[in-house]
Amino acid sequence: MPKEFIIQPNCSLSKKDRHGFFWLMGVVMAGITLTLALKGMWLVAPFMGADLLLLIYAFRKVGEQCRIVERVIIENDELIIHHEEKRAPRSWSFPLHWVSVDLQVNQYPQSPSRLLIGSHGNWVELATFLNEEERISLAGAIKTAIIKARQPAWVH
């Protein structure tokens, strides 16, 4: 029976909520701009428009990051990694009995660790968007699943 880990970033706003926030900010900024323009400060209008465009750009980039999905599948005698992204979906496959999970802790406390999976010099970094505790927990769960999958059928 295959074991699958689905890794996704935590996104606090849905697409519908983001659109609602854009409209709210647009109405608020339009109100401020109109008020100031009527008082003779019309030069504020282009800057408010630029602010709104930058806000839309930032939220669009965050939305792209929220759609990233990484899947680690352990089945038969292989470990398969699927990195699903809008622009560049990728996949890797490793023989289960040679695969290794390496959690590299950085020497600087502020720098995040790196979760690497691979074998024979081919490594894939996973879960760059998770926090430290989640990454450590995921590394332990994947290692445990690999150990269980390597055992012969009569052990289960």
Residue where a domain terminates, one of 29, 47, 66: 66
Please indicate, yes or no, whether residues 62 and 84 belong to a single structural domain of this protein.
Answer: no
pTM of the model: 0.75
pLDDT band at 156 (very low <50, low <70, confident <90, very high): low
Question: Which CATH number is 120's domain given?
Answer: 2.30.29
User: Which tokens hold the place of 3?
Assistant: 């074991």
- Mean pLDDT in the chain? 89
| Residue indicated by tokens 């400060």 | 41
Please indicate, yes or no, whether residues 43 and 112 belong to a single structural domain of this protein.
Answer: no
The structural domain count of the chain equals: 2
Residue where a domain terminates, one of 66, 91, 107: 66
Predicted confidence (pLDDT) at residue 1 exceeds the cutoff of 70:
no
Q: What is the residue type of 13?
A: L
Provide the residue count of the chain: 156
Predicted confidence (pLDDT) at residue 83 exceeds the cutoff of 90:
yes
Question: Nearest to residue 6, comparing CAs of 123, 144, 143, 141?
Answer: 141
**Full domain range(s) for residue 75:** 3-8+70-155
Q: Which residue has the higher pLDDT, 32 or 65?
A: 32
| Residue indicated by tokens 């959690």 | 103
Alpha-carbon span 69 to 8, nearest angstrom: 5
Q: Is the dihedral of CA 105, 98, 77, 143 positive or negative?
A: negative
CA 119 to chain centre: 23
Please indicate, yes or no, whether residues 88 and 104 belong to a single structural domain of this protein.
Answer: yes
What integer pLDDT is reported at residue 155 of this predicted model?
A: 67
What integer pLDDT is reported at residue 67 of this predicted model?
A: 87
Please indicate, yes or no, whether residues 59 and 78 belong to a single structural domain of this protein.
Answer: no
83 contact partners, CB below 8 Å, separation of at least 6? 68, 69, 70, 89, 90, 91, 124
Contact 130, 138 (CB under 8 A): yes
Please indicate, yes or no, whether residues 21 and 44 belong to a single structural domain of this protein.
Answer: yes
What integer pLDDT is reported at residue 152 of this predicted model?
A: 78
98: DSSP letter: T
Please indicate, yes or no, whether residues 46 and 75 belong to a single structural domain of this protein.
Answer: no
Please indicate, yes or no, whether residues 149 and 79 belong to a single structural domain of this protein.
Answer: yes
Please indicate, yes or no, whether residues 142 and 119 belong to a single structural domain of this protein.
Answer: yes
Please indicate, yes or no, whether residues 143 and 79 belong to a single structural domain of this protein.
Answer: yes
Tell me the per-residue pLDDT of 134-145, one tens digit each, with 9 for 90 and over: 999 999 999 999
What integer pLDDT is reported at residue 59 of this predicted model?
A: 86
Predicted confidence (pLDDT) at residue 33 exceeds the cutoff of 80:
yes
What integer pLDDT is reported at residue 27 of this predicted model?
A: 93
Buried b / exposed e over 14-53, threshold 16 CB at 10 Å, is eeeebeeeeeeeeeebeeebeeeeeeeeeebbeebeeebe
